[in-house]
Structure 1
């Protein structure tokens, strides 16, 4: 009787509510997820409701299944994404939800791209980065957690242990210390249930931390039950390490990396997380600095500049500190100010703000050289995307301070290129993606805002080659 009433109600609603109105409802929640592309990776991003820069927000990485594959930047949004976009859930659990889109199985390349996106998000709680997905997305969750078990605080894979023909790909020992809440229908004909049960028993033997919810009588289509649960679900736990909280979202957001350490793929060196302050031009600017233990006098200094929308604290998680430990140099992570749209940036002679970043970064470099006895002849700039733009501008206009620059998926801004005849020889490293849609390799970036105007990377590199009288040949 209940089923009949529900069916009649659905029929009645579909007759009364126009298709256009239903489509509008669908677009409303979808549009909460802003469509973006970073270095060839399409993704949708839902930001925390009521964002406050003084707070720290968790991140949920949402991995789609095979049905979401493509480049349309829409199909990857699934039922659980709609649930997470619900008004009450957003109010109760303000967080980022990052939904990348792939054209094939999730792998290490996707992981690095996802990490790069998260590194540029402002006010992220690095201790609470989570991952969930269904079918191929659950499979991806189980793959990526083995590659970065100290990056994610918890995962929630649904039907994620592979197809009948999938070779064994899970090493339980690599994920035994990660809180896992897995879901599966016991009648799943696509991704056999017994494979998840086998993983559960293996982790139980290892003293792992896994909860497995089995939906009795269900097949493969259980993605919509992960968050709300269902009456036919029964949950097993591998042992006392498991959090018995029955509500999925309460469980998820309670999980943190052990010892409240910031996320990292390996054991990281302890680093400061509070900004230091530096006054320049009557403006209080912020930065972080990392110095390896027993760093000698006259050590090099490297400025690592975040991308557009970036947060310097996130960039401390990308591994530069470990490189500094090995090679003996200090790293400065300055924080960009907000442009006219309220977005953190670097003003590489752009038209989007009047912030004096050239003056600030140069003055900060001199201050750090003096304070920590660092080598003025070995002070360098590097950065990602907008940070790469700024690195070019710094060596172009302040070569007496910055002695070399490395740009990753950045380029020269239109104005910096226009005045290239004033640039002095300086060593340059450029790393680009041939299919980059944000900072195109072919130089077709729009001049709007002062970003575009420089030619393709081949011409830019030829300019620097001639200027620096480089004699080495290109090696591919």
Structure 2
């Protein structure tokens, strides 16, 4: 009986100690915050802002942190002036996960905004831009988190078995991240000058047009990134040589029922990587999903753990 009592007291003591340590860490840890940095775009000479997510605990150590550069897509109304419109980039992706869903992602997350380039003007302006409202922007709650974005239902046949299609000429794509690619090293240098960034662990990911932008920017500046993760965005064979030479780790994602970017469009890039002797790439197809694969990808843990497993070679 005495032994049981002693063991019980010891167990209580351990639990109290653990609770105290947890409470102490919680009280000491600095909170996550969302900030902005301003830069001048090489494209038009105008000042733009980008969001910088600073993770919880950043102020409690002098250690450098991994950085994740995120490029939004083309078709859901996230574009804007990089000032008043910047909050539209909170709609999805790692920034949405970290800031809106309050996940403890151990990255400095940088999220710029693609310009409109007149796409919001005239009779041909798409309704997803002209009809958008600031009310649709996800917001961080003081207590708890808002309901998660749910994937769409895609009444589209599985497309994975179709033969490889001819890629659309890159010149035929609408203006996208390629037009502001030169802004990205400028932005990265600016952030690295203001925050403690681990230069050996800088990563790049983007969705749809941002996925294509991921390929483009990584192929132009392969020395800047430790790994890349394009989501529902294909690359062109002519972009692969710099990535192969840099031995860039790559993880691509597609939707098996994606009518916008069919799975087959990814294979020309993979074939070229194989020809160049580069096999450090993954290709994951979410067979049941359409174009909005990013909802599942960024809500999981795998993509973040995989990125963090790589350092610049």
> Where on the TM-score scale, by shorter chain, does this alignment land: which range?
0.5 to 0.7
Matched positions, count: 205
Say whether residues 1:73 and 2:143 are aligned partners: no
Deviation, 1:184, is 0.4
Distance in 2 (CA, whole Å) between partners of 1:79 and 1:185 is 17
Unaligned ranges ≥5, structure 1: 1-30, 163-167, 230-245, 259-476
Structure 1 residue 209 displacement after superposition:
1.1
Q: Report the secondary structure of 1:33's partner residue.
A: strand
Q: Choose the corresponding residue for 1:111, options 166, 171, 184.
A: 184
- The answer to whether the Cα contact below 8 Å between 1:146 and 1:175 also exists between their aligned partners in 2 is yes
Q: Give, in whole Å, the separation in 1 of the partners of 2:288 and 2:238.
A: 26
Tell me, in whole angstroms, the C-alpha distance in 2 between the residues paired with 1:85 and 1:204: 38
Superposition deviation, residue 83 in structure 1: 1.4
Residue 145 in structure 1 maps to residue 218 in structure 2: yes
Contact 2:258 2:291 in 1 (8 A): yes
* Structure 2 residue corresponding to 1:42, chosen from 24, 36, 49: 49
Deviation of the 1:250 alpha carbon:
1.3
- Once residues 115 and 173 of structure 1 are traced to their aligned partners in structure 2, the CA distance between those partners, rounded to angstroms, is 23
- Does the 8 A contact of 1:35 with 1:73 survive in 2? no
Quote the residue 1:84 is aligned against. Answer: 98
Asked if the contact 2:71–2:111 (Cα under 8 Å) also holds between the matched residues in 1, the reply is yes
Given the alignment, which residue of 114, 117, 136 partners 1:102? Answer: 114
Q: CA deviation at 1:136?
A: 0.9
Other structure's SS at 2:222 match: coil
Q: Over aligned residues, Cα RMSD in angstroms? A: 2.3
Q: What is the distance in 2 between the residues matched to 1:86 and 1:55? A: 25
> 1:188/1:156 Cα in 2 relative to 1: closer, same or farther (>3 Å)?
same
1:159 to partner: Cα distance? 1.1
Structure 2: how far apart are the matches of 1:37 and 1:142? 25
Partner residue of 1:62?
70
Distance 1:105 1:131 in 2: 16
Q: 2:207 aligns with which of 134, 147, 157?
A: 134
TM-score normalized with structure 2 length: 0.60
CA contact (8 A) 1:228 1:248 kept: no
Q: Which residue of 2 aligns with 1:181?
A: 251
Map 1:264-275 to 2 at 5 A: none
How far the C-alpha of 1:195 sits from its partner, in A, is 1.4
- The equivalent of 2:286 in structure 1 is 215
Distance of 2:294 and 2:101 partners within structure 1: 20
CA distance in 1, matches of 2:256, 2:183: 30
SS in 2 for 1:249: helix
Deviations 1:87-129 (A, max 9, x none): 7742xx4220000112151133222332232232321100000
Return the TM-score normalized by structure 1. 0.40
Structure of greater relative contact order (alpha carbons < 8 Å, 6+ residues apart): 2
